Amino acid sequence: MSQPLPRHVAIIMDGNGRWAKAHKIKVALGHRKGVEALRAIIRESSDLGIEALSLYAFSTENWRRSPQEVAALMGLLLEYFTSEIDELDEKNVRIRILGDKDGMPDKQRAALINAEARTRDNTGLNLNLAINYGGRAELARAARLLAEKAVRGEIAPEDIGEDALANELYTAGLPDVDLLIRTSGEMRLSNFLLYQCAYAEFLFPETLWPDFGLEDYHAALAAFAGRDRRFGGRKA
Ligand code: FPP
């Protein structure tokens, strides 16, 4: 595998709808196929020793889709957490949910809470699933948490800097995103990990998410390894 590997990979899994349309099947089946793709990428990330993998599974804006599509996605989420949790736990994967769990239906919320609690001491891949997530909402939440700490006298306003803010994000303790992949050729961040992507390398493969396989993933990792990262500095 090409070196250096990114420590933290983030993926916007786009194109399930177009994939379903191209195959003349219901969008729900496109999402189901998307879950298969996601399984393989999670397994490979774990096997490669990548530290963190963040996947955009459901944004705060996705509630605007048809009730049928939302129900299909909620069903898939529940199914995923029920069927995969044993294998993920065995693989020492630590699951974190990025997003507002309180805004989720009861069964899904319980499954998400259970997955986090069950895997919290695992030390392998940090698998972050962004569910009912928005980047601006995450930043507003972090500001609110800091303000509450300041009111309680636990932190002085002058001590609020980048580290203090990062510590209130859902990704607290994890490295910044090194590589962001958005499939399907769309070139947007769509409110995903706004703070954490400050110095991320971006890749926009044309492949629709259900077709994104290990070869595509390896190609993305090789492209990342070839990037010249300067973090605002200059190479000597
Ligand atoms: C984008 O495709 C994808 C989504 C909005 C959802 C991604 C969700 C999954 C892959 C499955 C659920 C996740 C888990 C963890 C079980 P799109 O529908 O926007 O595609 P389009 O732009 O072609 O319409």
Helix axes 106-119, 67-90, angle to 10 degrees: 20
Among protein residues, the one whose CA lies closest to atom 7 of ligand 1:
57
The enclosing domain of 121 has a CATH number of 3.40.1180.10
Cβ of residue 15 lying under 6 Å from some atom of ligand 1: yes
The pair phi, psi for residue 163, each rounded to 5°, is -65, -45
Confirm whether 58 is domain-assigned: yes
Average confidence score pLDDT of the chain: 96
Is 96 domain-assigned? yes
Nearest Cα residue to 105 out of 61, 125, 75, 68 = 75
Helix or strand (DSSP H, E) at 123: none
- Establish if 147 belongs to a structural domain: no
Show the domain range for 95.
Answer: 8-134+177-223
Rounded to an integer, the average pLDDT of 26-36 is: 97
Atom of ligand 1 nearest to the CA of 80: 16
The model carries a pTM of 0.96
Specify the number of domains making up the chain: 1
pLDDT band at 28 (very low <50, low <70, confident <90, very high): very high
- Residue 172 domain-assigned? no
State yes or no: pLDDT of 156 exceeds 80. Answer: yes
For residue 79, the ligand 1 atom closest to its alpha carbon is: 16
Q: Could you tell me which residues are beta bridge partners of residue 52?
A: 8, 126
For residue 25, is it within any domain? yes
| Confidence band for 3, pLDDT divided at 50, 70 and 90 | confident
